[in-house]
Amino acid sequence: MLRHKILLVTLAAVATSCAGSDPQRASQPSPTVTIMTFNVENLFDTKDDAVKDDRTFLPLSLKQSDEHQQACNKIEVEHWREQCLHWDWREEIVERKLSVVAAAILQVGNGRGPDILALQEIENLGILERLRTEHLAAAGYAPAILIEGNDTRGIDVAFLTRLAVFEKPVLRNIPFEGAPKERVADTRGILEATFRLPDGALLTGYAVHFPAPFHPTGMRVSAYEFLNELKSSLPQDRAAFAAGDFNTTSSENRQQSMLERYVRPHWIVVHEQGSVGGKGTAYYAPDDSWSFLDMILWSPVKHHGDATWSLRASSVQIPNHIPEQVHDGVTPARFQLPEGSGVSDHWPLLAVIELK
């Protein structure tokens, strides 16, 4: 033990001496990369896509046919049925939605947004590119990464980033063995992309949107297990993260120990590091309960000698300082019609990784 302590002290002295021998290098800040996840809640265009169930998100002028009204009346949940019948999802509303989503994103990074942004509930590449080019121009993001999936609603996961992308992104479909087809149809794949970090190292990211809480727990277990398989197949010198809407409620986690069983053995749960300063990213009013449905999971490795990309625990935060994001000063403000108020029923989650 004594020899171990002496060695640590010696190494620390050497590191201090080396840093002191190059004052310019010592004064330079460590490279950092910001990662954020954001479920933007139904970012749809105004067009009727024949292969998607997007009838709610159409202008009222396109909702007058008997066929449309009959289809809406089959919706069991009254709130969703009324939206399908009466929401006027016109261009002015879409423009409002895009502007407030962009404001929520640009509140971080000194007005430039995060370096890597994982997004959920995007209808298609067209509406995401509209967000990127018309409302997020200040961020300087490269063309969006979105691969159309099989979700019947037509919502997809995506990435926006300023970093160079290494290799072609892939959408990995989750194998839900034994689940009914109608339930599987209401799910999204895992979007895998690899980014080149400022020092040249590679970072693989997974954008996720796991099955909703009304689906059986077993479907989310399958999603976690598949995500872990994907990570385990990476090269040993590859850092990785997963970001998105994992749809694991606080009550399900308490009852089923979801994070303890399927996450912590493989990942660092970012919002558990340091003090986030919030109860969660999503609020369920009927149970008066908060959950971190939205998570960032981090898996560091060493590369380039002793250099290591690490999570800066003090950086973890919930960016919810845009007034439109907050309902009654307390909960996430979902986007509402006819007034076009709110932003999303989820708050973003942000973290910083740094090279040490």
pLDDT tens, position by position, 35-83: 999 999 999 999 999 888 899 999 999 999 999 999 999 999 999 999 9
- Residue 349 sits at φ, ψ, to 5 deg, of -130, 135
- 318 and 297 inside one domain: yes
Instruction: Please provide the average confidence, as pLDDT, over all residues in the chain.
Output: 91
- 125 and 148 inside one domain: yes
What's the pLDDT tens digit per position in 74-114? 999 999 999 999 999 999 999 999 999 999 999 999 999 99
Query: Is 147 among the domain residues?
Result: yes
pLDDT of residue 349: 98
Are 114 and 205 contacting, i.e. CB atoms less than 8 angstroms apart? no
- 74 and 152 inside one domain: no
- 72 and 109 inside one domain: no
- 75 and 105 inside one domain: no
- 80 and 139 inside one domain: no
- 149 and 83 inside one domain: no
Query: Is 206 among the domain residues?
Result: yes
How many angstroms separate the Cα of 23 from the Cα of each of 14, 17, 28? 15, 11, 9
Are 136 and 105 contacting, i.e. CB atoms less than 8 angstroms apart? yes
- 48 and 150 inside one domain: no
- 228 and 323 inside one domain: yes
Query: Is 2 among the domain residues?
Result: no
- 133 and 282 inside one domain: yes
- 171 and 245 inside one domain: yes
191 pLDDT exceeds 50?
yes
How many angstroms separate the Cα of 181 from the Cα of each of 51, 113, 177, 186? 17, 38, 10, 9
Are 123 and 156 contacting, i.e. CB atoms less than 8 angstroms apart? yes
Q: Count of domains in the chain? A: 2
Domain that residue 78 falls in:
44-89
21 pLDDT exceeds 60?
no
pLDDT of residue 51: 84
Q: 23-32, 52-61, 318-327 — which is least confidently predicted? A: 23-32
Query: Is 79 among the domain residues?
Result: yes
